Chains A and B, each alone.
Chain A
Amino acid sequence: MTASAAAPAVALSNVRFAYRPGQDVVAIDTLTINRGETVFLHGPSGSGKTTLLGLLAGVLTANSGSVQILGQDLTPLSSGARDAFRAQHLGYVFQQFNLIPYLSVRENILLPVRLDRERRAKLGSTDPVRAADTLASELDIGAAINSPVTELSVGQQQRVAVARALIGSPEVVICDEPTSALDSDRRQRFLELLFASCHKAGATLVFVSHDFSLQPLFSRTVSLPEINSASAMIAKDN
């Protein structure tokens, strides 16, 4: 699980992926995201967004080419090694329903460090519970820390998901349309908190959305249809 400090956060080259042979869903020749960037990855539905995120997270494996995260090519790794790499270096925020319903807010935030020893080690001497509480109060959900997650509003739930993605300081945080369920006021507030926390943690942010209005807040925008030569075909299929 070597992760080079100098390497870019994400580096894709000649990546091809197909669920069924001959029907590429992702065909990206090159994509590089540097450390510390906040990247707005724009793509309408059917542009291969979800598949690309699966490749970045190491849940899917490219058929060819290399998917390097922090200098580590995920393609040749075993699925177990990819799971471990993801646990250690990645934070992930879903569009919604991010939380395990039967765990409290604090337990949800603690999940990555509880499940992975390396991720826990990244906290150093910090007590995991304290780290979770600190993140929660940064994200303005400190008061709800012991609540069952089912009692939270959607906005609060998304902030819990951010706290969970950031605990143990992963190098890369991937957000898959996390604001789509929020109204615009809350969306603004949510993004401010997200940026502040990522900045504080030194994490590279890959933010996927089809909502162009968010674009100005990011340091860089990548249009998925432009770089994914397979997306035209998918769009045609749909």
Chain B
Amino acid sequence: MGTIFRLAMQSLRSRLFTSLLTVSSIALSVTLLVGIEHVRSGVRESFAGTIRGVDLIVGARGGSLQVLLSTVFGIGASSTAISYETYERWAAHPAVGWSIPFALGDSHRGYRVIGTTSEFYERYRFRQDGRVTFASGRASEGDDEVVLGAEVASRLRYEVGSPIVVTHGLQGGGIADHEAHPFKVVGILNRTFTPIDRAIYVTLGGIEAMHEDFEQAPGAVPAGAPPGTPSMPGAEAPPVMPGANAPPVMPGAEPPPVMPGYVPPAGTPVMPGYEPPPGTPTMPGATPPVATPALQPRVDTTHDDHDDDDHDDAAAQGSGEHADHDHEPQQVSSFMVGTRNRFEALQLQREMNTDLTEPLTAIIPGVALGELWQNISSAEVGLRIVALFAVAIGLTGMLVALYSSLDARRREMAILRAVGAGPRTIVSLLVIESALLAFLGCVIGVLLVYALLVFGQGAIEARSGVHLAIRALGSTEWMYLAIVLGAGTLIGFVPAIKAYRTSLTDGLSPRS
């Protein structure tokens, strides 16, 4: 057998170019197969590892998927808020060990602004035991302080100390900037490869302060605003400037003549002490005058980017005004709960879901994540099928290469027979050849996967936020390799049996 093996190697080497082509076609298909599996499990892992150690996620009554997506992944928004009293009531529940409230609905340049408490920095876990840690700075404490996720900081090139103006709503452009309440970056988080990287964290009071300012616009208390929102003491209602932009009235808009979020153009003395930059022209349309009336102050309204100039002005104007102001949170969008005893989680979930005072939806993150993954996983079946077809194509290529070489090798078979090789030896020669090709294909394919991971890891993270760990092959991948190797070996029997037949009929004199 050793001799046959060596013969097979030398025979393959003698047809180096064909062999290399065959090996590379198998290698590429193996790369696809193993690579897809690697990516799939990497995505799944980073998906399942997005949130750990939380027993319940609680949102206003709605779909569990909605609660999960908006709270953990920052996708979509919950339509209703939970009153702060309800949150406090549950937070004080004897089964609850700790809780993290979230106030969602605002954004900055497309990144979500999330109001939360210091519990978030202490309790939130992802992957194995990943904690939220600071690359620089500290947690936000004051109502004008923000902490940036790693991606936000690097994409927008913010540093500790940078001023930020938050936008009301989740998308759109500059219609409802909370310019009256600018923030300052006090901390930047380390990269977590979870949605945290793409979020901006403020205090609950910060969110509240922002919306209070937002609601200061004369007569502009949007429908659905939390009742009893206190008017900000000391803040003067900005006068509508005569001769400037006429207060835009939106077609179909309700009485309030000045839209929420409308900020008088530069040059309008809004606040005491506000100095218009000299020479700033009053530009009609500089501040987009149209806003969709907000149904829910926290969520539904779109709106977004604004000029850096604006925001610098606003920062200069706002910092002195609100920094020391204490704002009581009125409501939260959702909250996470860690129970004192994990066995109480189910009981607590039932209690919350059946509570009549305020309808809530409490979900168990692991279960909800599993359900969500089930929904996505049909796509992965499709990917696998494509990859398996690629392998079939690679192996067929090998079959073609081996089979078509047979005619040229009839003399070789006759020589082997003349020196005493039986047809079985000839069969094993060809089977070993195809097994060797398949084996080399597997090895090179796997090496290629790792090479791509090493060189592509950074780019994949940057683009998709998915952290693909460079790890040993998993059982599925080994199984795939075994299938490729097994199929490659089996396929070798096709030319081998043909060679067996020819060598029997040819005997020692191939009719060449």
Q: Does B425 count as interface, using CB distance less than 8 angstroms?
A: yes
Complex contacts, B420 vs chain A, CB 8 Å: 83-84, 86-88, 90, 112, 115-116, 119
Q: Does A106 count as interface, using CB distance less than 8 angstroms?
A: no
Given contacts A92-B508, A115-B3, contact A103 B421 (CB under 8 A): no
Contact B418 A57 (CB under 8 A): yes
Contact with B along A93-128 (1 / 0, CB 8 A): 010011111110001000110111001000000000
Contact A100 B412 (CB under 8 A): yes
Q: Does B354 count as interface, using CB distance less than 8 angstroms?
A: no
Contact B415 A100 (CB under 8 A): yes
Complex contacts, B507 vs chain A, CB 8 Å: 54, 57, 59-60
Between B415, B418, B507, the greatest number of chain A beta carbons within 10 A of the residue's beta carbon is seen for B418
Contact B508 A94 (CB under 8 A): yes
B11, B14, B424, B508: which contacts A53 (Cβ < 8 A)? B508
Q: Does B417 count as interface, using CB distance less than 8 angstroms?
A: yes
Which label, helix, strand, loop or mixed, suits the secondary structure of the A interface? Answer: helix
Contact with B along A148-166 (1 / 0, CB 8 A): 0000000000000000100
Given contacts A54-B507, A59-B508, A102-B10, contact A87 B419 (CB under 8 A): yes
B7, B418, B423: which contacts A94 (Cβ < 8 A)? B418
Complex contacts, A102 vs chain B, CB 8 Å: 10-11, 13-14
Contact with A along B402-442 (1 / 0, CB 8 A): 00000000011011111111111100000000000000000
Q: Does A80 count as interface, using CB distance less than 8 angstroms?
A: yes
Q: Does B509 count as interface, using CB distance less than 8 angstroms?
A: yes
Task: Write the nearest CB–CB distance from A89 to chain B, whole angstroms.
Answer: 9
Complex contacts, B419 vs chain A, CB 8 Å: 87, 92, 111-112, 115-116, 164
Q: Does A180 count as interface, using CB distance less than 8 angstroms?
A: no
A53, A57, A84, A99: which contacts B415 (Cβ < 8 A)? A99
Q: Which A residues, 46 to 96, have Cβ-Cβ distances below 8 Å to chain B?
A: 50, 53-54, 57, 59-60, 79-80, 83-84, 86-88, 90, 92, 94
Q: Report the nearest A residue to B420, measured CB to CB.
A: A87
B11, B421, B508: which contacts A54 (Cβ < 8 A)? B508
A57, A119, A164: which contacts B508 (Cβ < 8 A)? A57
Cα separation A31 to B149 with both chains bound (whole Å)? 97
Q: Report the nearest A residue to B419, measured CB to CB.
A: A112
Task: Write the nearest CB–CB distance from B442 to chain A, whole angstroms.
Answer: 24
Q: Which B residues, 453 to 512, have Cβ-Cβ distances below 8 Å to chain A?
A: 507-509
Complex contacts, A114 vs chain B, CB 8 Å: 3
Q: Report the nearest B residue to A49, measured CB to CB.
A: B509
Contact B411 A115 (CB under 8 A): no
Contact with A along B54-65 (1 / 0, CB 8 A): 000000000000
Q: Report the nearest B residue to A84, measured CB to CB.
A: B420
Contact A101 B508 (CB under 8 A): no
Complex contacts, A50 vs chain B, CB 8 Å: 508-509
Q: Report the nearest A residue to B509, measured CB to CB.
A: A50
Contact B422 A54 (CB under 8 A): no
B7, B13, B423: which contacts A79 (Cβ < 8 A)? B423
Task: Write the nearest CB–CB distance from B427 to chain A, whole angstroms.
Answer: 12
Q: Report the nearest B residue to A81, measured CB to CB.
A: B422
Complex contacts, B11 vs chain A, CB 8 Å: 102
Complex contacts, A88 vs chain B, CB 8 Å: 420
Q: Report the nearest A residue to B503, measured CB to CB.
A: A59
**What are 30 contact pairs spanning A and B, CB under 8 A?**
A50-B508, A53-B508, A54-B507, A54-B509, A57-B508, A59-B417, A59-B507, A60-B507, A80-B424, A83-B421, A83-B425, A84-B420, A84-B422, A88-B420, A92-B508, A94-B414, A94-B508, A98-B415, A100-B416, A101-B14, A101-B412, A102-B13, A102-B14, A103-B10, A112-B419, A115-B3, A115-B420, A115-B421, A115-B425, A116-B420
**Known pairs A50-B509, A94-B415 / 12 extra A-B pairs, C-beta < 8 Å:** A54-B508, A79-B422, A80-B422, A94-B414, A94-B418, A100-B7, A101-B412, A103-B7, A112-B420, A115-B3, A115-B425, A164-B419
The 4 nearest A-B residue pairs measured at CB: A87-B420, A102-B14, A83-B422, A59-B507
